[in-house]
Amino acid sequence: MKKILLICEGATEKVFFELLNYLFNDLKIVIITANTDLFGKEIYDISYLKDINSILAKEEGYELEDFEKMYQLVDMDGCFVDDDKIILNTSLTKIKYYVDRIEAKEPFQIAKKNKIKRDNIDEMMGIKELKILYSSQNLEDAFFNIKNLSNTKKKYYALANYVYYKKNLDLFFKLILYVNKAKSNSYEKSWEYIKIGNNSLNRGSNLLLLIEDYKDFLKDEFKEILANYK
């Protein structure tokens, strides 16, 4: 059985995206969580293998050599919007995301982190052994169409949607197709799309790229849905 690695930011992604393993035959997707935004870390483009190895070391029984391919899923968090879309709001204790702006108590710090994330993504796009996927603005926005949830509600929605879609895998598969707002199965074009205007604040994901890479391993019912999508 082939194995691929999917690195996510947090535990809610791990819960929800375990559904991917029900779509394939003879393919195991091992999902690990960084519990942080690695792309917001300076020089992640240099340290990524060390960082991923460190996370993987906590997963008993796996080494990087076990995986045919690596994917990393990153929340966009509006990182490609212009800095003037980051608005000062001194009453906030937590950053807020909207379809056309970000509101924060310290806009300069958000702009600085956005630049670090953009630079890391741009530098790492050419790495052959790692494909970068995105959820925009994050998991909850892309797949549940809800912004600015508390951590408690994020956990609730991840589990509730996992339970629902496990019973309705055809709808889960169609959801992945629906949130492919770039309308492309091209890696480069999916990223060109998310970098335009306010797209990195709005609903979308290129998770379909993982499906496309291993479409030959899809169960027959999902192959049929994919064929009709095209």
Domain span at residue 215 reads: 2-80+118-229
**Residue 60 clears pLDDT 80, i.e. is over it:** no
Note whether residue 109 is domain-resident.
Answer: no
Instruction: Count how many domains the chain has.
Output: 1
The pLDDT of 71-84, averaged and rounded, is: 98
What pLDDT does 185 receive? 87
Note whether residue 137 is domain-resident.
Answer: yes
Average pLDDT, rounded, for the chain: 96
What pLDDT does 8 receive? 96
Selection from 129, 126, 147 nearest residue 201 by Cα = 147
Taking a C-beta distance cutoff of 8 angstroms, is the pair 200, 39 a contact?
no
What pLDDT does 96 receive? 98
Note whether residue 207 is domain-resident.
Answer: yes
Confidence of residue 61 (pLDDT cuts 50, 70, 90): confident
What tens digit of pLDDT does each residue of 121-163 get? 999 999 999 999 999 999 999 999 999 999 999 999 999 999 9
Confidence of residue 87 (pLDDT cuts 50, 70, 90): very high
Q: Over pLDDT 90: what percentage of the chain?
A: 92
Q: pTM for the full model? A: 0.96
* Residue 216 or residue 58, greater confidence: 216
User: Residue by residue, what is the 3-state secondary structure of 164-196?
Assistant: HHHCCHHHHHHHHHHCCCCCCCCHHHHHHHHCC
Note whether residue 87 is domain-resident.
Answer: no
- Tell me how many degrees the CA angle 115-7-177 measures, rounded to the nearest 5: 90
- What totals of helices (H) and strands (E) does the chain contain, helices first? 9, 8
Note whether residue 156 is domain-resident.
Answer: yes
Taking a C-beta distance cutoff of 8 angstroms, is the pair 202, 85 a contact?
no
Q: For residue 61, how many other CB atoms are within 10 A of its CB?
A: 6
Note whether residue 222 is domain-resident.
Answer: yes
Rounded to an integer, what distance in angstroms lies between the CA atom of residue 218 and that of residue 208?
A: 12
Note whether residue 103 is domain-resident.
Answer: no
> What is the Cα 163 distance to its own chain's centre?
20
**Residue 178 clears pLDDT 80, i.e. is over it:** yes
Amino acid at 52: I
What pLDDT does 50 receive? 92
Note whether residue 99 is domain-resident.
Answer: no
